[in-house]
Amino acid sequence: MNSPFSFLKHRLAKEIAVILLIKLTLLMGIKALWFDAPTVPKDGTVEMSQRLLGATPASLKIEETPR
Going from the C-alpha of 58 to that of each of 5, 55, 63, the distances in angstroms are 68, 9, 15
Tens place of pLDDT per residue across the chain (67 aa): 677 778 778 888 889 999 999 999 999 999 999 887 777 667 777 777 777 887 555 555 566 677 6
pTM over 0.85: no
Contacts (Cβ under 8 Å, ≥6 apart) of 8: 14, 17
CA–CA separation, 45 and 31 (whole Å): 25
- Going from N- to C-terminal start, the domains of the chain cover 7-38
Q: Residues 17, 8: contact at Cβ < 8 Å?
A: yes
Instruction: Return the pLDDT at 63.
Output: 67
Instruction: Return the pLDDT at 56.
Output: 56
Rg of the chain's alpha carbons, rounded to an integer?
28
